[in-house]
Structure 1
Amino acid sequence: MTDQLLLYSLAEFETIIFECLNIIQAKRILEIGCEAGHFTNRLIEWVEQAGGMLYCVEPQPSETVLNQCHQSKHARLIVETSLTALPQIGPCDCCLIDGDHNYYTVSHELELIWQQCQNAEQQPLIFLHDIGWPCAYRDVYYSPEQIPIEARHPFTYQQGVTLACQELIDGGFRGEGAFAWAVHQGGQQNGVMTAVNDFLERHNSFSLAEIPCIFGLGILYQSNCTYARKLQDFLSFYDKNILLAKLEQNRLHLYLKVLELQDQLLALKQLTNPLQ
């Protein structure tokens, strides 16, 4: 039930993303993290009309994604982790990162993308999902064993997160076994936004626009590229929009309240029917 209430996909930003693709006249597009394929399908439609190519990176693709990529000559599926797949793909005009939301993975994805485009006319436009709460300053691990031990924070699958609380709690927003949270929030090399901020410190030719809703969308682009002014003008309404940020906080409060009530109902059922 709660999954049906939650807006969480890049597909929710479709109108904004496609306008940005039009502005930069993208041809080669990279999507890291395809999930059920809702947005992948729309991207395939876009590149087919533009005469471009979509590279989809997903280590565990759904049947839907497999079929979508197989049926289009404008899409290629790479069934690998992003850090293995990126060297195979080469420079792209636009990269959409919505895969493993932890510092190690995101920082290495950004560096690989930057390195691949050294001889290109300009660096790609990069979209990063989940730069806001709860992944901004806390790592998430879908496959902790793939993160080097020295780069991995202590983690747990059992507990969840909630607003205005840095500590994990019993309940809250959690992965139900699908992913693990880093036990501690904040500090060095922890979270998606930390990876983005560190990238910006290393590469000061980039600017960041932040859309503060639906877990946060970051848009990285070179400040001096040919399309920078037009892109800035288009994104100016959304960038750090205070109203969107307030609406996001309200949305998260309501969703977490639903989770709390759902947990209370389950506990009550177990109390009254201990054998169930």
Structure 2
Amino acid sequence: MADNNSFPGENNTGHVWDDNLRELTNPPPRWWMLAFWASVIWWVVYGVLYPMWPVGHESNKGLIGWTQMDEYIKGVDEVEAIRAEFETQIKGMSAAEILVAPGLSQYAVASAKVLYGDNCAPCHGGGGQGGPGYPVLADDDWLYGGTIENIQQTITMGRKGIMTAHGKILSDTEIDSLSKAIEAGDPMSDPNFTQKGCIACHGMDGKGMAVLGSANLTDGIYRFAPAEGESLLDSIKHTIKYGVNDATEPKSREAVMPKFGERLSADDIKKLAVYVHKFGGGQ
């Protein structure tokens, strides 16, 4: 094909397609070559200054002795130095005091974001919206009270409410009648509510008692959402019949929050309490 080069004297390989499309052999532009050799020099210098060349099972240490771990430790030290002032204040303050201190409250929220994500979000959702079988933290319905002190105690000590499996003392007809009254938000309208002892935990008005962690049965907010394919009425019946955390009943609801006081520091719990309170549902 080179013998039939129709562009003699031109720097091409002699390969021509479609009459005039050919492959040239011109050298690269000077700026490109300068950049290429500069990158080669930079690579060699970098390899001398920083760990790069293989030496046995590791790399060389480099002339400046830089390591990624040293860089990380330096960064952590810088962050800790900035946080030290706030952390010192938090040690001597209650969660309630931190909540009303503008600058410190903002720091607590920013600092607790990771704590919440690691310890709370898997159950309660990233924004406190709750999940299947787990309470919402962003509303004003609190089983054990929503004050900053209540929240701090709940995080520290955990919670394990208990409701007896009433299927042992109520007939199916009575459970059905009581469930319908609760679904309507008026549990007092069913005689079983008072006669079978429900008032002992849920109060004469059915609005629950924070000291016991008993639910408000009049507000339409339910600790246990219906399972897939299950109606709200069926879910209420299940809770009444099999109870909550009743060790004698295999079908009992399970509702246990672990004691985070065993894994988190007191200061971290204060910050978490402020963070949860600021979801908007704290009292």
With the length of structure 1 as denominator, give the TM-score of the two structures: 0.20
Higher strand share: 1
Tell me which of the two structures has the higher relative contact order, counting C-alpha pairs closer than 8 angstroms and 6 or more residues apart: 2
Higher helix share: 2
With the length of structure 2 as denominator, give the TM-score of the two structures: 0.19
Larger radius of gyration between Structure 1 and Structure 2: 2
